[in-house]
Structure 1
Amino acid sequence: MNDHRNAPVAPADTDLPHDAPDRCGSPGTSTAPGVPGAASDAAPDEEAGDVRRFWGRLGLPGLVDVHTHFMPERVLHKVWDYFDAQGPLTARLEWPIAYRKDEAERTALLREFGVRAFTAMLYPHKPGMAPWLNAWAADFARRTPDCLHTATLYPEPGVETYVREAVEAGARVFKAHVQVGAYDPADELLHRAWGVLAEAGVPVVIHCGSGPAPGAYTGPGPIERVMARHPRLRLIIAHLGMPEYEEFLRLAERYGEVRLDTTMAFTDFTEGFMPFPRRALPRLAELGDRFLLGSDFPNLPYPYVHQLHALERLDLGTDWLRAVCHDNAALLFEL
């Protein structure tokens, strides 16, 4: 069970997508307006230079990206197959994978960008997957010291046990995907597992917003029930909770351990389908210590640096940008 070489792999025709594009769009739409380039058209050295100049201007030692995907290669290729097929949860949009490279190349590129620490966001869509995904992620972390040891979970018998084992083995962040997993995060089966993570202070990046297509358990309601029982749980709402931006901001205002990552938010691609409400911009400034840089690398339909420029053009100030792109995560993960 712990040997990822013999681990089961989701069938190619599964109707449960793996981290489908996290935005709302109109079914049948084939392209997105305003996408700045269809991938990384620039040469790697040029692109890395653009990214490094960004954080250099801020006086930072680099970036911390809390939402990057590394997983067993066979699984990742099925993710890419889903994007290529424009599966239902991609809102039928064309989605060119900007960084369709092998694992070593992807890792090297993040380092060239100056990303000091990143994650291996992986997640199950059915029972029995989480333990072997966790075994793979532990091995990846051992051979990739700048990757924050990542783990995952699913509502199933034994989840408390393997979550505790992952924490004891050094897991520093968990990933939960309510949309793909199609489960209620407030499921009683997860209650003790959330308790373990709250007690250990291990953050959880959770995709729970209703974009691009609402699931039975997406939206702020189930998450609020989780936080009511575990107010010390360090939840990081992925993709800024899109499209329920303001509802998830309210959760962050209510619970001091709720944070949000910026993955795909404010980019031209996402703004074309589910724009962030301008009236809520002052709340971003007020909650500045709760936001963390996320990108969704490698599954981007635009260059990595565009996410950074999208944050910069919010015009919330240098201190806010420094905090979001590095300092908040460096503090949270004690880098």
Structure 2
Amino acid sequence: MAVTSSAVLAFLLLIAASAFAAPPPPSEGLLPNGNFEDPPKRTDLKKTVIQGKNGLPKWEINGLVEYISGGPQPGGMFFAVAHGVHAVRLGNDASISQSIPVKPGSLYALTFGASRTCAQDEVLRVSVHPQTGDLPLQTLYSSNGGDTYAWGFRAASNVAKVVFHNPGVQEDPACGPLLDAVAIKELFPPRPTRDNLVKNAGFEEGPHRLINSSNGVLLPPRQEDLTSPLPGWIIESLKAVKFIDKKHFNVPFGLAAVELVAGRESAIAQVIRTLPSKCYNLTFAVGDARNGCHGSMMVEAFAAKDTLKVPFQSQGKGRFKTASLKFKALSARTRLTFFSSFYHTRIDDFGSLCGPVLDEVRVVPLSRC
């Protein structure tokens, strides 16, 4: 069959177009039945307890896992389900898991609603082989049960088995963490530029924000930069920091920022490349999220041997100020650290932790000290 020149030309143009086509968008959104709104069959439920390994659609369960509807519970308890109507509760040593397709070597963040349901010191263990992290749930950052967390992992193969596990053993076997939504987002770690040595300086690259996440997304403590759900940054403190977005909060620059919600127990850091004995200028913005957080705030910044305390009098109206710190590098790596000096709660809700907002962190070399 003869091939016309116009057909050949069209084929070549198609190849050229595909060569310059934009890369596929990153994977983002709820996991299959990630909000647990697809219920177990009636035959797979005994009161609230799910029966059988595959009783929860799209998930595999082990141990005592309950299917919970938000609101008042038998025995006088109340379970807040912030991201829908249904959730699951993990009893003693119970777990749920799901295998999902991923790209080997890529960085991902899981976002999920999680809260404790009893007075005990509950822990939620999250794992994607070979990485595991324990999230302490004793601290309630919001009084309405709407705490949302993010946890990062780097894919080791093309399939990731996501496991949520309650490693605790309580007197009441029904006690355990409540999990009410699970989503994923592929992250693309930014790099330093000629104009700024700080990676992800404005916190624009971060985890998926669940629908109804008006409380922001908590970044758990002790997150290393290689697998952090906030690329480039280390959460090196005992408590979480909060990732906030422009839709729900005041953000000084761009679309996102971080809120230091737990005083000195809520610290964020990054290690940057520097030249020994060379001087640099560190600048950053400090403000409030316009979320009712008020009072005398202070952010402390550390770079090499230099420190700076930045006071900020918040009226909760979304204002901010910029600060500057000149420092001399001592080695080829310099750690930048930020934390809040004081503890704060919202003026309209003393059960919700809050604090100063940090944004637009920049480091540029100086021609002379």
Q: Pick the TM interval, shorter chain.
A: under 0.3
The structure showing larger relative contact order (alpha-carbon pairs under 8 Å, at least 6 residues apart) is 1
**Which structure has the bigger radius of gyration?**
2
Which structure shows the higher helix fraction? Answer: 1
Which structure shows the higher strand fraction? Answer: 2
